[in-house]
Amino acid sequence: MQRELKLFKDININHIAIIRQAQQKFRIFCQFLLTAIIIIFINSCQSEISPSKSVVSQTSPSQTITQSSKCGSRSNAPQDNLIAAKYKDNAFPWAKNIKWNCVYNIKDFPAFTIDARFNAARDAASANGGGIVYFPSGIYNFADNIYLKDGVVIRGDTPAVNDAKSNSYNPATKLVFPQYKPNLSGNGTPNTTAFKKILTTNPSKDSNIGVVNVDINRAAIEFSSAENSDNITNQNIIIFGVRSNNVATPEPRVPESFQNPWQRFSHRFAANIKIQAFANVLISNNRLNDAVTDNFDQPNYIVKQLRVNSTVTYPEGEKAKFNYTDHYGISLNRFSSPKELPNDPNRFPNFFRKGLVIQDNWVYHTMRVAIHATGDNLVIRNNQIRDDKNKQAWIDSTGTKQPQNAATFENRAIDWSGWNVTIDGNDYEVYRHKIAGGNYESIDGEGILIQECCGGTSVNGVKISNNTGNSYIGIYKVPQVNNVLITGNKILSNLTNTPAIYINADTNGSKNKMDNVKIQNNTLSNGILARASNGGINNFIQGNRSNNGGDISYSCGIKVENNIGFAIKQCGT
């Protein structure tokens, strides 16, 4: 009996010991779990903002509204339709399709990285039919490309200065992407470490999307499906209030087999903003390339010599600069060039999309075109375009060979096409490259241009008015020219020898006519050319003034009257 009691007592003591041991382990687990939660919270905050900057909204109290229980997350955020506030309700009625009042504040979506937090907020908005992913003021360091979804808009805090053409424009919400850090040895730094983009998941269909009131460093905005552009349905896209810097794509041809494996070159077909859409795009109040910091020199860069089958090495790194502004600024529905002139909206629908507006932007660029767009009723209005007056080129635009003396780098302020186009109130500067330190300049430098090649359409309705620039306005060898008004422009200097207004319906292969072309009340630095060898009706050159001489050269049948300061040539010469 005593043996049984002793055995029972031993068993009871063992049970108590096991229970106490389990309680101790549970307390340790709870402490570990609490510590992990604190670490996750700290890491998420650090990935969102810099240590010196707190996330405090600068939005005015009148615009900050507690979220509805039907959509959005719990934290306060602006809910106003800022497009209606800027341009009044009737200007862009399609903007009301965006769910401005359904706001998903990034603060309400904890995760290890800001990339994951954005994805969670975006997915919450998408699952509820769309809405705004809101980033309060602060610095958000992303690791990779990010993708919108149908109905989702990125929005930052309302800037203290709201005019993107102001030198003080500086949105407080900053989205920062990885910097390319060159290694000028071996195979170099992999391109995959940088050159990121803000994209959308299904670019041919995603609608009611956009990016608003953010400073984006090192990422392009690209909603484009050019390979399927005739069949797209995406629409209602807003890019507004974006400051964009250090955007580039590496040239795919570099390095060639004869070059150092570490060599890189900026791809000329990149763009800060590239959109391909079915209808209704507003690209407005953006500031592009005003604070580029990432350009880098490449000493000992190798290229092919111009006229012999050998190579040359540039020991001076500045001759082989990787330049983050050697590309397009804004490209809207371009980057396709059919083999014949697009003159039929039914056959070439991508060139004649409706509801496309580019206005109130500030764009700096040093190669290709600042604003590159096509559309039916396209509007390009009140933009300011700047360039580098002293730029030089020691390498051609592919990054693989020396440039010819007659090279073109497509330096151009505005390159347009489409029908019923308005180009009004723009202020532009454009310059040519000096070639290899010599006296030759690149063959480009147009101010406002449409041409038959390279994605230009026929001309059927355009008003080019009240623009100020330093290079000519050209309708260059387009075989179908109808319904043109060029009025009130000031071309007070002209960096080319081309007449300040150049309208030519004759091409290298044919003589053509033009109808209803009026060139009137412009103030110019030199002459005017209007040519259509097969005649036409209702064409006028009248009321223009030249401050520096120049000829008026015109085809017979064009009425020329009341022009001041020009030498009037005999018609047809």
pLDDT digits (tens, 9 = 90+) for 254-296: 999 999 999 999 999 999 999 999 999 999 999 999 999 999 9
Find tokens 């499906």 and name the residue: 225
d(C-alpha 243, C-alpha 15), whole Å: 68
pLDDT beyond 50 at 239? yes
DSSP secondary structure string for all residues of 91-151 = T-GGGGGS-TT-EEEGGG---SSHHHHHHHHHHHHHHTT-EEEEE-SEEEE--S-EEE-TT
Share of the chain above pLDDT 70, in %: 87
d(C-alpha 424, C-alpha 150), whole Å: 32
Query: What integer pLDDT is reported at residue 113 of this predicted model?
Result: 98
pLDDT beyond 60 at 538? yes
H/E element holding 8?
helix 2-48
Share of the chain above pLDDT 90, in %: 79
d(C-alpha 178, C-alpha 428), whole Å: 32
Asked if omega into 255 is within 30° of 0 (cis), the reply is yes
The β-bridge relationship of strands 473-476 and 481-487 is: unpaired
Q: In this predicted model, what pLDDT tens digit does every residue of 182-203 receive, in sequence order?
A: 999 999 999 999 999 999 999 9
Q: In this predicted model, what pLDDT tens digit does every residue of 539-549 receive, in sequence order?
A: 999 999 999 98
Domains of the chain: 61-471 (2.160.20)
Burial 310-348 (b: 16+ CB within 10 A, else e): eeeebeeeebbbbbbbbbbbbbbbbbbeeeebbbebeeb
pLDDT beyond 70 at 365? yes
Phi, psi of 482 (to 5 degrees): -145, 145
What are the tokens at 360?
């109130």
Amino acid letter, 390: N
The β-bridge relationship of strands 77-78 and 64-65 is: antiparallel
Residue 240 pairs with which residues in a beta bridge? 212, 284
In this structure, how many other beta carbons lie within 10 angstroms of the beta carbon of residue 468?
A: 17
> CB burial class (10 A; 0-12, 13-18, 19+) of residue 210?
buried
Query: What integer pLDDT is reported at residue 228 of this predicted model?
Result: 67
Relative orientation angle of helices 114-127 and 2-48, to the nearest 10 degrees: 90
What are the tokens at 181?
């850090």
Query: What integer pLDDT is reported at residue 341 of this predicted model?
Result: 80
Length of the chain: 573
